[in-house]
Amino acid sequence: MTDTRRRVKVYTLNEDRQWDDRGTGHVSSGYVERLKGTSLLVRAESDGSLLLESKINPNTAYQKQQDTLIVWSEAENYDLALSFQEKAGCDEIWEKICQVQGKDPSVDITQDVVDESEEERFDDMSSPGLELPPCELSRLEDLAELVASSLPSPLRREKLALAVENEGYIRKLLELFRVCEDLENREGLHHLYEIIKGIFLLNRTALFEVMFSDECIMDVIGCLEFDPALPQPRRHREFLTKTARFKEVIPISDPELRQKIHQTYRVQYIQDMVLPTPSVFEENMLSTLHSFIFFNKVEIVGMLQDDEKFLTDLFAQLTDEATDDDKRHELVNFLKEFCAFSQTLQPQNRDAFFKTLSNMGILPALEVILGMDDVQVRGAATDIFSYLVEYNPSMVREFVMQESQQNDDDILLINLIIEHMICDTDPELGGAVQLMGLLRTLVDPENMLATANKTEKTEFLSFFYKHCMHVLSAPLLANTTEEKPSKVTVISNNKFCALRFMRRIIGLKDEFYNRYIMRNFLFEPVVKAFLNNGSRYNLMNSAIIEMFEYVRVEDVKSLTAHIVENYWKALEDVDYVQTFKGLKLRYEQQRERQDNPKLDSMRSILRNHRFRRDARTLEDEEEMWFNTDEDDLEDGEAVVPPSDKMKSEEDLMEPISKFMERKKCTYGKAFSGGLVGLVDYPDDDDEEEEEEEEDGESKEDPLPPSKKSKLSS
């Protein structure tokens, strides 16, 4: 079995004074020839690689904290920590460190921290220790002055901390606090405030463990209520005991875990609300307090994560219809806070955390919660969903694709998200904006995985267009059913925006989209509009020619072949520009290269020396075309004169006519057909739909009844 006593996590302190997890492994000690001394070695439990190799230097100050932590400075501004799974392992390594340094293992720090001048150090070393005044009311002022005078000197701080620790001084001070409070001795209370505040700045874990114990922490907070700079004392204890009530939404059977949660909340409250804002000088003197809170949170998340009964009960009650609204509200808020706690974890620990939640069924649970009427519950569920999406969008994508195999589109998790985004009742649209960002992350190809066995981009985008796009586009299509469309971005800005939209898609040079364009014959409405424009030279004429010219210049082979094979007879007489003849030439060259590979290799050599037009120049000209007012170019001077031999619409080749008959659509003419094609993703059932249409069933309505009712409501 694995020796869990020696199992440790290695941490380093970064520039932001936060601990970074460097990995989990097993620690040992032994002589290392290269370092010429006994060293600490940590090997990763995953692959046996060396995570840490650190010589135990005789003069390094090692600190033992919270029974399971050993902290030290390897070099200037480079702090290290070993967090042990078990106290026994920490004690074993601590004894080895003390043995090398010749120290008694009962100490919590092996060396004095010294960074003073030689003269100051000589003066302080002349006395073996620091003598504290008796802990009496009459000596509180003397003690406050002693603490204040010791803080600027690291060596004096260390001696003061040792004296306070060894004499059990904190408990004596807290007894005096209760006396002063009973007697309403305001002067004594002010001195105790300064003393306790100063003890915090000693930055010593052993003192924190006493101050934050159950029997002491509330009195420590009481001392910090009596700030001499304030006219009236604060009421922190009243808030913690009467207002901030701890609720166990699911009973916690482990008393250690319950105590750790209470302690962490109170210490966090002290750091955030009770202690005054530290000065630049004091900020570095509270690093141990930050570490105390950090490691407590790591421990809490780990203990909750390992408690399968707790998590099972949590998700069962969340999704149970019998759970009342108040209880469900508490449960979902707990889960939200639980996920927020996980943000303190390092990536590999967060990965294990979210994997555990995924195995427990967090995504199906969120699907149930998001379908509820309670706005606050849905809001908390959205926040939880955002943690999952931001950390691992691939995990969410995999879930929704698997879900589609068992459920109807109406109840898919991602479609619930889309519907909540569309139907947000908040005038500020705060929820809609948050959901829009999450949806954008899920459909962003840049963060999709691509491996030898799986191409997430192709799989998920195909799924999204097939199962989700009709929900996302429903409001857009609903606004185009009237004779005069409502203000919708693509439609209201006339057909040129539709054309520009298609041009942008082609500009992506993505074969996934190219195949979609070809499969749905989306060039057909473009060719039709070009022919309808007749011999007029205007913005329409220029924009369409530019689109085909882009395909020719960039040599988009798949689109070139598609255009020539399907639309050449309609475009072959357009000779006032060489675009279409150039496309035909490209197409023929492709065919020749397929038939003669040797010719293809020779042309590629010649092509490397040919001047090519800068793509950015094309984009600039395109912007100029689209930003020009249509009216200015409607009857204006043509850059290139149009031909009088333009073919009419009736001259389109027969396959196009048949296709138009099969793809009738009620959403407008010309470019609206292209837009509907972009949102009405075809699937393997196309042939069945065509057969149904031939049998007399109308397929013109793109919205199923359930979607219509939701939009109208």
Q: Any idea what the CATH number is for the domain that residue 51 is in?
A: 2.30.29.30
User: 575 and 592: one domain?
Assistant: yes
User: 402 and 477: one domain?
Assistant: yes
User: 155 and 229: one domain?
Assistant: yes
Of residues 393 and 661, more confidence is placed in: 393
Whole-angstrom CA distances from 630 to 318, 601, 670 are 57, 45, 17
CB 121, CB 114: distance < 8 Å: yes
Residue 409's SS3 state is helix
Instruction: Tell me, yes or no, whether 324 lies in a domain.
Output: no
Instruction: Read off the pLDDT of residues 355-376 as tens digits, 9 standing for 90 and up.
Output: 888 888 899 888 888 888 888 8
Predicted confidence band of residue 40 (pLDDT cuts 50, 70, 90):
very high
Where does a domain end: 458, 480, 512? Answer: 512
Instruction: Tell me, yes or no, whether 491 lies in a domain.
Output: yes
Where does a domain end: 512, 534, 562? Answer: 512
pTM: 0.51
Domain count, the chain: 4
DSSP state of 443: T
Does residue 672 carry a pLDDT above 70? no
Instruction: Tell me, yes or no, whether 438 lies in a domain.
Output: yes
Does residue 653 carry a pLDDT above 50? no
User: 49 and 75: one domain?
Assistant: yes
Tokens found for residue 159: 């001696």
d(CA 322, CA 325): 9
User: 70 and 177: one domain?
Assistant: no
Instruction: Tell me, yes or no, whether 459 lies in a domain.
Output: yes
Task: Give pLDDT, residue 140.
Answer: 93
Where does a domain end: 81, 101, 121? Answer: 101
User: 526 and 471: one domain?
Assistant: no
User: 482 and 525: one domain?
Assistant: no
User: 464 and 549: one domain?
Assistant: no
Residue in the block written with tokens 């006339």: 494
Instruction: Tell me, yes or no, whether 343 lies in a domain.
Output: no
User: 54 and 159: one domain?
Assistant: no
User: 155 and 91: one domain?
Assistant: no
User: 499 and 443: one domain?
Assistant: yes
| Mean pLDDT, range 582-599, rounded to an integer | 82
Does residue 81 carry a pLDDT above 80? yes
Q: Give long-range contacts, CB 8 A cutoff, 24+ apart: 357-360.
A: 357/311, 357/388, 358/395, 358/399, 360/311, 360/312, 360/315
Expressed as residue numbers, the domain containing 176 is 139-244
Whole-angstrom CA distances from 565 to 120, 256, 553 are 92, 75, 18
Four-point Cα dihedral 504, 507, 510, 512, nearest 10: 40
Of residues 367 and 454, more confidence is placed in: 367
User: 407 and 501: one domain?
Assistant: yes
Which sign does the torsion angle of CA 666, 667, 673, 679 carry? negative
What single-letter amino acid sits at 81? A
Instruction: Tell me, yes or no, whether 317 lies in a domain.
Output: no
Instruction: Read off the pLDDT of residues 412-451 as tens digits, 9 standing for 90 and up.
Output: 889 889 988 888 877 777 788 889 999 999 998 888 876 6
Instruction: Tell me, yes or no, whether 660 lies in a domain.
Output: no
Instruction: Tell me, yes or no, whether 63 lies in a domain.
Output: yes
DSSP state of 574: -
Task: Give pLDDT, residue 451.
Answer: 64
